Amino acid sequence: MDELQNLKDRMERERPAPWEDLPDIALYMDQLISYMPRQLIRFDEGPALTSAMVNNYIKDGLVPRAEGKRYGPVHLGYLTAVVALKQVLSVRDIGALMEAGRALEKTPPQQYGYFRSALDQALADTAQAIDPEADRSDLAKMALDFAVRSYANQLACQRVLSILQPQEEKKRR
């Protein structure tokens, strides 16, 4: 099935830019918004990111403030992670993860590198489970398998975050 082969190919091939390949010139908001869809796999036509979303992520402390209305690699790195994680986590949970990275004194390039590595592995694992030769009658089973894996991963993620967050809240007091 061509659609499944396309999905598999994209999941095997498309990745966010490495840190060293992120634009090293500061971008204005409209340039940032037009750059971000290149960072993650998308299938819908809606906006991946809006200026209102960027401003909210900054207010929520997920992304550093712009440097004179200009955004650099640090902003692009954080926004790439936030846009991806926002699909499955709350702003609070994303904040806890980012705070944990900062508490480990990891630099933004190191945090971004870990995010890219984890995303790469997850996409590769998922692509491996896609059978492009599956016929229409197998699609429901394939979708259920992905959904059940998502459920199990979500359970584990939420539990680990609940263990992590009380420690993060104690540090803030």
| Per-residue pLDDT tens over the stretch 102-161 | 788 788 999 999 999 999 999 999 999 999 999 989 999 999 999 999 999 999 999 999
Alpha-helical runs (H) found in the chain: 2-13, 29-35, 51-59, 73-85, 91-103, 108-128, 139-172
Angle between helices 139-172 and 91-103 (to 10 degrees): 60
Tell me the two tokens of residue 70: 């200009």
Cβ atoms of 17 and 39 within 8 Å: the answer is: yes
Domain count, the chain: 1
Residue 27 backbone dihedrals phi, psi, to 5 degrees = -105, 145
Please report, rounded to a whole number, the percentage of residues in the chain having pLDDT higher than 70: 95
Kindly state the average pLDDT of the residues 90-110. 87
Q: For residue 134, what are the contacts with CB-CB under 8 A and spacing of at least 6?
A: 1, 4, 142
Domain that holds residue 56: 2-172
Kindly state the average pLDDT of the residues 46-64. 92
Q: What is the pLDDT of residue 69?
A: 92
Q: What is the pLDDT of residue 165?
A: 79
Which contacts (CB < 8 Å, 24+ apart) does range 34-37 have? Answer: 35/76, 36/76, 36/79, 36/80, 36/83
pTM of the model: 0.89
Q: What is the pLDDT of residue 170?
A: 52
Average pLDDT of the residues of the chain = 91
Cβ atoms of 48 and 83 within 8 Å: the answer is: yes
Kindly state the average pLDDT of the residues 46-54. 89
For the chain, how many residues are written?
173
